[in-house]
Chains A and B, each alone.
Chain A
Amino acid sequence: MPWEWSSLSGQKETGMEQHILEMRDITKTFPGVRALDKVSFLVRRGEVHGLVGENGAGKSTLMKILNGVLLPDSGQILMNGMPVTFRNTKQAQACGISLIYQEFNLVNTLSVAENLYLGFLQTGRSKLINWKKVRAEASALIKRLGFGFDVKEKVENLSVAERQLVEIAKALSLNTQLIAMDEPTSSLTTNEIEKLFSIIKELREHGITIIYISHKLDEVMAICDSVTVMRDGHIIDTRSARETNNSEIISKMVGRPVDMKYPKRRSDILGEEVVLEARNISCAGFVKDISFSLRKGEILGIAGLVGSGRTELVESIFGARHLQGGEVYVLGKKECIRSTSDGKRCSIGLVTENRKETGLALNYSLADNVVITNLSKVKIGLIISKTKTKSSVYRYVDELAIKTPSIRQPVVNLSGGNQQKVVIAKWLFSDVDILILDEPTRGIDVGAKYEIYLLMNSLVENGKSIIMISSELPEVLGMSDRVIVINEGRKKGELCGTEMSPEAVMRLAIK
C-alpha cells in the first residue's frame, strides 16, 4: 500500500514526552455509583494500548471523559505533558483525540465526503462550498488508507467495514494523534478484521497512538503492545502484552481465578425426540435454505459471524419475521407460524439480542414485564388478579435468583444480568418448551454470565430445549451439545462431540 502521510508532527523525536496521554486521578460519580475512582491511565506515544474489563468496570466512562462527552468530577488530563480540558467532543478533537464508537458517528443520508467534514465544508473565494475540492481531499484521504471507494457514495449504501474506514479517515482528517476504538470488530468479517489490523499497524508506524477497547481478548493480545485491565472503577494493572496471557488478564478482570467457565451438565438428559425441525428456511436477503433440528433437552448452538443471518433465521422461526420459504415442524407436526403469537402458541420463545430495545418495557415494573406473555394465567374470570401476579412473579424471582428490591421496581434500574433474567423469566412464565436465546450474555459481566449458564443447564435438565446464538466461540462451544455454523445466510456445517473446536467453527464461518 502506498502511503503518503503529510504533516504528522514528528512523533518519534527524542526529548518529547514519552506518554502522549496521561489521565491523572480521574474520579467520576453518578448517583449511587462511583464509576471511576482516582483512575490514573498512561498511554505511551505510538503504541497500541488495549483496554479491557467487564461491563461496568469503567472503560466506557473513562473513554467518554477522554472524548469530551462527560466531565470528570476531579482529576486532570494531560496531552503531551500539557494539561487540557474539554467540554465537548469538538474540543477533544482539537486536542488530537478521536473516539470511534460502535454506533458510527456518521450521517447515513449524506455522502462519505460530506461526512468527513460534516458541517464545516471547505468554502472557496465566493464563500460558497467548493464541492470539487471537498471531494478531491476526501478521495485522497480514503486512498491513503488503501481503499478506493467513491466518496460521492452515500454512507447508507456502504457496508459496516467501509463505514468504519470512513470513521478512521474522519479521525485522520482532523489530525488526530490518538484514536480510541470501542469494540471495533463486533460487526466485521475475519477478512475485514485482518484489514483493520493492518491499518492499525500502519497507523502505528506513522506515530498515531491507538487505544483498543474490546471484550475479545484474543484480538487484544494479537494487536496490542500493552494491556490495561480495569475493574470496578479502578485500574488494576497495566502490562506489556508479551508479558501476560489470557487467563491472567481474565482473573484480573474478575478478581478471582477463573478456570471453569462453563458449568457441566448431566449427560443423560439429551433425548431422542425431535422437538423442533426447520426445513429449507429462507428469508429474503438474509437466510437461504437452512435446515436443522433440535432434540429434547438439547442445547443447540448457532455460530457464525455477526451479520451472517442467525438472528434473522431464528426470528423467522419464531414468527417475528416473514418466512419466505421452508417449513417448521414442532413435535413432528407442521406449523404455520406467521406471527409471534403463533410462535408462542407453538411453544417457542425468543430472548432477543437487545434486551433494552426489544426485550423489556424499561419503565414498566419487573412484574409487568414478566407476566405479559401469558396474562390469562394470572386472571380470575376476566380480571387480572394482583395476588396471583405477585405469587407467580415471586416464584420466578426466587428460581432465577433475580436481585431486586421489589417486583414493582422498573426494570431500567436493574443490572444487565438481572434484566436478562427477567426476559428469560417472561418466557418461562408462558411455559414455552423451546427457548431461543440470541446472544444471551452480551453486555453482562462474568459473574452474571455464569449464573445464566447455570440457568440454561437447569432448564434443559427440566425438559426444555434451547437454541443459543452466540458470537463468543468459547461460549458456544462450552455450552452446546451440537453446533451449526451459518455463513452468509447458509448453513455451512454441523459439529458435535469432538468435532467441536474453535478452528472447525471458524473454518466454516468464513469464506
Chain B
Amino acid sequence: MTGESRTGSVRARITKILRNQGVLIGLIFIIIVASILEHSFLTMSNLLNILRQASAIGILDFGVTFVMMTGGMDLSVGSTVSLCSVVAVSVMNRYGQDVGSDDVVMFAILAAIILGFLVGLINGSLIVAFNGRIGETFIITYGMQIVVSALALLYTGGHFIAGTFAPGIYQWLSTGFVPIILFFTIGAIMHVILAYTPFGKQVSFIGANMDCAKMSGIKVNSIRTLVYGICGICAGITAIIVTSRVYSASPLQGNGYELDAMAAVMVGGTSQTGGTGGIANTILGVLVLSVLGNALNVIGVDANAQLLFRGAIILIAVGLDVWNKSSNIKEASK
C-alpha cells in the first residue's frame, strides 16, 4: 500500500491541490481582491512596505518555527521582543555619548540578542525540567510572558523610551532593502540548518516522535532548550529591527507578536505538533499574513477589528492542519 492517492474524479484532484497549495492560492486571491478594491495596493512602494513589515516579524517567526518543529510553542516571544527593545534603546541612550556611535550600536545589538537568548534558555530549561508536553509548554511560556512583560514594564517604569542618541547606522537597519535582505538571508541560513544539517534533522525528528528521538540517542533535552534559545535570539533581532524603524521602544512593543507568529507559522504549513513544515513554509505564511494585514489597512479596516481576523486566522490555519493530517492518515492507513 503506497502513499499515492487514487487519481479519480476531478473533484478529488481539486481538493488535493487546494489542500496542498491552498495557502498560495489564498495569497493570490487576497492580492487580486485587494488590488481591485484599492488601486494603491499594487504599487511598488506599498509592496515594498509589505515586505519590510513582514521582514521584522518574519525573523521572529523563523525562531518560532524552530520551536514548533519540535512540537512546542513559545507564547513569551512577544514580551521578549518588548524587553529586548527597551533594553536596546536604553543602552544606546545611556552609553551613546561615552562610547561613540559604532560601538554603542554593537553593544545594543549584542545586548538584545544575548538577552533574548537568555530568556529563551530559561523557557527551554523550565520546559525540559518538567518534561513538558503541549499543556505544560503552553502554561509555562504563558507564565513567562507575564513575567517578562512585567520585567519590561518595571525596567522602564511603565514609560515609553524615546531614543535620544541618534546613531545613524542603527536607523539604517530598517531602511530600504536592508530588512528585506536580512529577512531572506537569515531565512536562507535557518532553512539550510533546519532542513539539511544534522541538528536540524534532529529538531524535526523530536517533533515527529519525541520518545523515539530520545530512544534513538538524540540529546532531546539539550536540543529543545537550544531551540528556545534560538527563538529568543530571533526575538532579539526582531526587537532591533522594530525599534530601529521608529527609534524608540515601548514596554508593550511586542504585545500580540506571539499570536501573529503562531498564525504565520501554522498558516505556512508547519504542523502544530511538529515534525513537518519548515522555514520555506513560514516565509509563505508570513507573506500571506502581511499582505492580508496591509490589505485590510489599505481598505480601511479598524485596527481593533483586525484582532478579529487574527483570531479567526489562527483557527482556520489550525483547522486546515488538522484536516490535512487526518486525510493523510486515511490515505496511508493499511
Query: What residues of chain A have their CB less than 8 Å away from a CB belonging to chain B?
Result: 30-33, 320, 339-341, 343-344, 349-350, 352, 357-364, 368, 372-373, 375-376, 379, 382-384, 405-406, 409-410, 412-413, 426, 430
Contact = CB atoms under 8 A, between A and B. Distances in A.
A426 B192 CA distance: 24
Contacts of B1: 31-33, 413
Nearest to A383: B196
Given A30-B333, A30-B334, A383-B192, A364 B218 contact: no
Interface string B1-27: 111000000000000000000000000
B275 A426 contact: no
A372 B218 contact: yes
Given A372-B205, A405-B2, 12 more contacts: A30-B334, A340-B218, A341-B218, A361-B205, A361-B212, A362-B209, A363-B208, A368-B201, A372-B218, A373-B217, A409-B3, A413-B334
Nearest to A381: B197
A383 B192 CA distance: 8
Contacts of A32: 1, 334
B145 to A, nearest CB: 30
B217 A343 contact: yes
B214 A360 contact: no
Interface of B: 1-3, 192, 196-198, 201-202, 205, 208-209, 211-219, 221, 275-276, 328, 332-334
Contacts of A362: 209
Nearest to B4: A405
11 contacts: A33-B1, A320-B215, A339-B221, A340-B217, A341-B219, A344-B217, A357-B209, A363-B275, A363-B328, A364-B275, A368-B201
Contacts of B213: 361, 372
A215 to B, nearest CB: 21
* Most-contacted residue by chain A among B198, B202, B208, B218 (CB, 10 A): B198
Nearest to B325: A363
10 pairs of A and B residues whose beta carbons are closest in the complex: A344-B217, A375-B198, A361-B208, A361-B209, A358-B211, A32-B1, A340-B217, A383-B196, A358-B215, A341-B219
A350 B215 contact: yes
Nearest to B215: A358
B197 A384 contact: yes
Contacts of B334: 30-33, 413
Given A30-B334, A32-B334, A364-B275, A358 B212 contact: yes
Contacts of B212: 357-361
**Majority secondary structure of chain A interface residues (helix, strand, loop or mixed):** mixed
A127 to B, nearest CB: 36
Contacts of A383: 192, 196-197
A410 B332 contact: yes
A341 B219 CA distance: 6
A434 B275 CA distance: 30
A311 to B, nearest CB: 12
Contacts of A413: 1-3, 332, 334
Contacts of A372: 201-202, 205, 213, 216, 218
A359 B218 contact: no
Contact of B201 (A352, A375, A409, A410): A375
Nearest to A406: B2
Contacts of B214: 320, 340, 358
Contacts of A350: 215
A75 to B, nearest CB: 21
A340 B221 CA distance: 11
A33 B215 CA distance: 32
A30 B334 CA distance: 7
Contacts of B275: 361, 363-364
A391 B192 CA distance: 22
Contacts of B205: 361, 364, 368, 372
A373 B216 contact: yes
A323 to B, nearest CB: 16
Contacts of B201: 368, 372, 375, 384
Given A361-B212, A413-B3, A31 B333 contact: yes
Nearest to B3: A410
A360 B197 contact: no
A237 B334 CA distance: 27
Contacts of A358: 209, 211-212, 214-215
A373 B217 CA distance: 7
Given A363-B275, A364-B275, A384-B198, A430 B217 contact: yes
A223 to B, nearest CB: 32
* Most-contacted residue by chain A among B1, B3, B216 (CB, 10 A): B216
Nearest to B198: A375
A29 to B, nearest CB: 12
B222 to A, nearest CB: 9
B196 A384 contact: yes
A74 to B, nearest CB: 21
